[in-house]
Structure 1
Amino acid sequence: MRTLREIRNGILVGAPEGQSIYQDASVVTKGGTVYKCQIDRDDICQQIPFDRTNNVGFVGSPLDEKSGQWFGATLSTSGRTDGPVVACAPRYVWFTKDLNRKDPVGTCFVSNGAFDSFEEYSPCRTSSVHQQSLENRPAVFSTREGKAPDDDSYIGYSTVVGHFKQGEEFEGIAVGMPRGNKLKGKVLLFTWNLHNYKNITISNQIGSYFGYSLTAADVNGDKKLKTHS
């Protein structure tokens, strides 16, 4: 059996309902896993040990739930051999500290191309927005925690980068909040360092999910991308 280092010319494959060999199947059931597979030979794949832990907490009082979390549903790499690799579990559930509510906040793990170090990144346990450099982990910006009415607003369900603020040298970030604005939806515009300078709330229809998806396009020919919702 080949090791991860021995598999060259490989492709990363997510199996969101797979069973990780690094977790106890009686505790974490079908939490998902990620494989590195050799592309020039059949059936040579190895699971990547992004997460070797079971549910966090104590017996009878868990703090999270990894069963059915769909780990591997999202994969992203820098394209470089030694660059960062990100694998995410969008249905990962976190319990509030008083254990009276469960939030499907999602979580991600970041590794290097050699897969010899792994770090979890799961800031979304509050209704806020975070920006993280994968090259420099200390370089992180975040918004303040949202107010109680913003709970379950799906903030961050969609994001896009572009030049949204006139005169701004650096690209900003547009963030969708499809259940915000009293379930009518809205879009938040941030500068590159996550200063919220404008919100778009044109929808008057409850349940319209305004902000569910975002894209950016050059609409005036200035070679800069603007947001569309």
Structure 2
Amino acid sequence: MLTAVQQEKCLGNEKNKTKLIELLVETLTARGLEANTATEDVDLLVLLTALTTPDRNAFFMKPGRGNIEDKVYSTRQLQEQPFSGSNLFIRSFTGCDTCAIFNDNKLSILKCFLKMPNETKAMPGIYYDPNSTLDAVAQAGEEMFLTMYQDPPIERDLNNHRYNSFVKSSTKVKANLASLPMTKGAAKQHYFRVYIHMQQWLDNDSLNPTRWGWVRDNGGVLNPVRTTYLIAPYSVLI
């Protein structure tokens, strides 16, 4: 059956996309080919690139559009990129598909990471280590954030940077408070969730999520800890 609408609109409908995937799986299986359905999109590309061993190779095709031809990538090719050793960290730190750092897209953060000093680029190693402590993860995460925000070396404190950003923003005609960096307390919980997320990707399921940025409600469902700090000074809250 030929569709009467553009491909983007057709596949923008979740039911259409699901039916197409099911049809592809049935067709491949009928021809004797093994077919598995992934529940993740970009995360799958990142995981395969990071975790495929050197003796194996996985291929990905990016469909072309208009005059642009299809392009094929391989895990070996992607593993030769300068950021390949930290791609799990970059993907998780920037929020995957569920959230994002305000006013920064993933491409701009990747470019920023490539320009960072070597000592800062070594910080993600703490997130790959299954024995890292809470303090080590928090310290490395804050260093990463401050470098991304191009904070002066004299300060190196996220709350100070947030305050200075607020002062600069308040002088503008249209101040956007949503663009301010996270508070130190909120950012720390973000670092913890990044760490346990990466450890699960690396097949380490031994960590207790309630120690790493999550809390269980009365029904046992995990919810993210927004911050462990007061939302304002106590003198303001009373």
TM-score in same-fold range (> 0.5): no
> Greater helix share, 1 or 2?
2
* TM-score bucket (shorter structure): 0.3 to 0.5
> Greater strand share, 1 or 2?
1
How does the TM-score come out when normalised to structure 1? Answer: 0.32
Q: More relative contact order in 1 or in 2 (CA 8 Å, sep 6+)?
A: 2
Rg larger for: 2
How does the TM-score come out when normalised to structure 2? Answer: 0.32
